[in-house]
Chains A and B, each alone.
Chain A
Amino acid sequence: MQLSGTHRLALSRLRVWQLLNDPQVLARATPGVKTLVRDGEDRFKAELELGLGPVRGVFAGQVEVRDKQEPSDLTLRVEGNGSVGGIRAEGKLRLEEAGQETLVHYRGTALVAGTLASFGSRLFSGVARKLAAEFFENLQREGNE
Chain B
Amino acid sequence: MATKFFGTPVKRREDRRLLTGGSQYTDDLQLTGMVHAAIVRSPHAHARIRSVDVEAARSAPGVVAVFTGKDMEGVAGIPTAWLIPDSDLKTTDHPALARDRVRYVGDGVAVVLAEDRYQAEDAAQLVQVDYEILDAVADQVKAVEEGAPQVHDDAPGNRCFLFNTIQGGDLDQAFEDADDVLSFRTTNHRMIPSAIEPRGCVAQYNAASGELTLRMTSQNPHIHRLLLSIVLGVPEHKVRIVTPEIGGGFGSKIAVYADEAVMAFCAMQTGRTVKWVETRRENFQCTTHGRDHVTDVEAAYTNEGKILGLRFKTWANMGAYVSTAAPGVPTWLYGLMLSGVYDVPAVGLEVVGVFTHTTPVDACRGAGRPEATYLLERIVDLVAQRVGLDPVEIRRLNFIGKEKFPHAVAPGVIYDSGDYDAALDRLLEMVDYEAFRSEQAEAREQGRYLGIGLSTYVEICGLGPSSIVGSTGFQGGLWESSVVRVHPTGKVTVMTGANPHGQGEETTFAQVVGDVLGVDIDDVELVHGDTDLVPMGMGTYGSRATAVGGIAAFKAAQKVVEKASKIAAHQLEAREEDLEFEDGRFQVKGTDQGMSFQDVALQAYLAWNLPQGLEPGLEAQSFYDPSNFVFPFGAHACIVEVDAETGQTDIVRYVAVDDCGEVINPLIVDGQIHGGIAFGVAQALYEHAQYDESGQLLTGSMMDYAVPKPGQMPSFELDRTVTPSPVNPLGLKGIGEAGSIGSTAAVANAVADALSPFGIDHVEMPFTPQRVWQAIQQA
Asked whether B700 lies within 8 Å of A122 as measured between CB atoms, the reply is no
Task: Check A117 against B697 for contact (C-beta < 8 Å).
Answer: yes
Chain A residues whose CB sits within 8 angstroms of the CB of B281 once the complex forms: 115, 118-119
A114–B697 CA distance with the chains assembled, in angstroms: 9
Cα A117 to Cα B44 in complex, Å, equals 10
A113 to B695, CA, bound (A): 9
- A74 at interface (Cβ–Cβ under 8 A)? no
What is the bound-complex CA distance between A112 and B701, given in angstroms? 16
Which of chain B's residues 680-698 have a Cβ closer than 8 Å to chain A?
Answer: 692, 694, 696-698
* A28 at interface, CB cutoff 8 A: no
Chain A 88-112 residues near chain B, CB threshold 8 A:
88, 111-112
B696 touches A118 (CB 8 A): yes
Does B708 belong to the interface (CB within 8 Å)?
A: no
Q: Contacts A85-B43, A86-B44, A118-B701 given; indicate if A111 touches B696 (C-beta within 8 A).
A: yes
- In contact, B704 and A113 (Cβ under 8 angstroms): no
Query: How many pairs of A and B residues are in contact by the CB < 8 Å rule?
Result: 51
In angstroms, Cα B210 to Cα A19, docked, is 68
Q: Which residue of chain B has the shortest Cβ distance to A114 in the bound complex?
A: B43
Q: Which residue of A lies closest to B43 (CB)?
A: A114
Q: Which residues of A contact B696 (CB under 8 A)?
A: 111-113, 117-118, 121
Bound CA span A25–B701, Å: 38
Within 8 Å CB of A1, what residues of B?
692
Q: In the complex, A99 Cα to B477 Cα: how many Å?
A: 80
Q: CA–CA, A63 to B271, complex, Å? A: 46
- B133 near A122 (CB under 8 angstroms)? no
Q: Chain A residues near B285 (CB, 8 Å)?
A: 118
Inter-chain contacts of A117 with B (CB < 8 A): 43, 105, 692, 696-698, 700
Residue of A nearest to B124 (CB): A83
Output the nearest chain B residue to A113 by Cβ-Cβ distance. Answer: B43
Is B44 in contact with A118, judged by CB distance below 8 angstroms? no
Q: Contact between A119 and B703 (Cβ–Cβ < 8 Å)?
A: yes
Alpha-carbon separation in the docked complex, A86 to B102 (Å): 15
| Chain B 136-154 interface mask (CB, 8 Å, partner A; 1/0) | 0000000000000000000
Q: In the assembly, what is the distance between CA of A82 and CA of B94, in Å?
A: 27
Q: Are A113 and B700 in contact (CB under 8 A)?
A: no
Q: Looking at the assembled complex, report how far the CB atom of B143 sits from the nearest CB atom of chain A, in whole angstroms.
A: 18
A85 vs B40: C-alpha distance when bound (angstroms): 12
- Whole-angstrom distance between the Cβ of A114 and the nearest chain B Cβ: 3
Q: Tell me, rounded to whole Å, the shortest Cβ–Cβ distance linking B439 to chain A.
A: 38
- CA of A35 to CA of B120 in the docked complex: distance in angstroms? 30
- Nearest residue, chain A, Cβ from B699: A118
User: B769: shortest Cβ distance to chain A, in Å?
Assistant: 16
A121 to B561, CA, bound (A): 63
Contact A118 B694 (CB under 8 A): no
With a CB–CB cut-off of 8 A, which chain A residues contact B699? 118
- Taking a contact as CB atoms closer than 8 A, the residue among A85, A114, A115, A122 that contacts B698 in the complex is A122
Docked CA distance A81–B125 (Å): 12
Contact B697 A118 (CB under 8 A): yes
Which residues of chain A from 51 to 107 have a CB within 8 Å of any chain B CB?
Answer: 83, 85-86, 88
Chain B contacts of A88 at CB under 8 A?
133
Q: Taking CB as reference atom, which chain B residue is nearest A1?
A: B692
Task: Please report the C-alpha to C-alpha distance between residue A83 and residue B44 in the assembled complex, in whole angstroms.
Answer: 13
Collect the chain A residues with CB atoms within 8 Å of residue B692's CB: 1, 111, 117, 121
CB distance from B688 to the nearest CB of A (A): 13
> Bound complex: CA of A111 vs CA of B281, how far in Å?
19
* B284 within 8 A of partner (CB): yes
Write the nearest CB–CB distance from B136 to chain A, whole angstroms. Answer: 10
Decide: A86 and B43 in contact? CB cutoff 8 A: yes
On chain A, the residues within 8 Å of B703 by CB distance are 119
Q: Are A118 and B704 in contact (CB under 8 A)?
A: yes
The answer on a CB contact under 8 Å between B700 and A119 is yes
Complex formed: what's the CA distance from A112 to B692 in Å?
A: 10
B44, closest chain A residue (CB) = A113
In the bound assembly, the distance between CA atoms of A144 and B44 in angstroms comes to 41
- Residues in B with CB closer than 8 Å to A83 are 125
A110: shortest Cβ distance to chain B, in Å? 10
In the complex, per-residue mask of B186-228: 1 if CB is within 8 Å of any chain A CB, else 0:
0000000000000000000000000000000000000000000
In the complex, which residues of chain A have a beta carbon less than 8 angstroms from the beta carbon of B125? 83
Compute how far the CA of A19 lies from the CA of B600 in the bound complex, rounded to whole angstroms: 97
**Residues of chain A lying within 8 A (CB to CB) of residue B105:** 113-114, 117-118
Q: Hey, what's the 0/1 contact readout for B631-658 against A, CB within 8 Å counting as 1?
A: 0000000000000000000000000000
Asked if residues A119 and B43 are in contact (CB atoms below 8 Å), the reply is no
Closest to B47 in A: A113
In the complex the two chains form, what is the Cα distance from A35 to B43 in whole Å?
24
Measured CA separation A122–B45 after assembly (Å): 18
Q: Is the CB of B694 within 8 A of A113?
A: yes
Contacts of A122 in B (CB 8 A): 698, 704
Please indicate the chain B residues that have their CB under 8 angstroms from the CB of A121 in the complex: 692, 696, 698, 700, 704
Contact with A along B694-736 (1 / 0, CB 8 A): 1011111101100000000000000000000000000000000
Closest to B704 in A: A122
- Give the CA-CA distance A111 to B43 in the complex, in Å: 12
A54 to B148, CA, bound (A): 34
What is the CA–CA distance of A122 and B43 in the complex, to the nearest angstrom? 17
Alpha-carbon gap, A122 to B105, bound state (A): 17
Q: Which of A1, A113, A114, A122 has the most CB of B within 10 A?
A: A113
* Complex alpha-carbon distance, A117 and B284, angstroms: 13
**Contacting residues, chain A, for B43 (C-beta < 8 A):** 85-86, 113-115, 117
Which of chain B's residues has its CB closest to A121's CB? B698
Whether B698 and A118, one on each chain, are in contact in the complex, defined by CB atoms closer than 8 angstroms, is: yes
Interface residues of A in 102-145 (CB under 8 A from B): 111-115, 117-119, 121-122
- A-B interface, 6 closest residue pairs, ranked by CB to CB distance from nearest: A118-B700, A114-B43, A117-B696, A113-B43, A83-B125, A121-B698
Give 26 CB contacts A-B under 8 Å. Answer: A86-B44, A86-B133, A111-B696, A112-B696, A113-B43, A113-B696, A114-B105, A115-B43, A117-B43, A117-B696, A117-B698, A118-B281, A118-B285, A118-B697, A118-B701, A118-B704, A119-B281, A119-B701, A119-B703, A119-B704, A121-B692, A121-B696, A121-B700, A121-B704, A122-B698, A122-B704
Q: A112-B696, A118-B701 are in contact. List 5 more A-B contacts (CB 8 A).
A: A83-B125, A113-B44, A113-B694, A118-B284, A118-B696
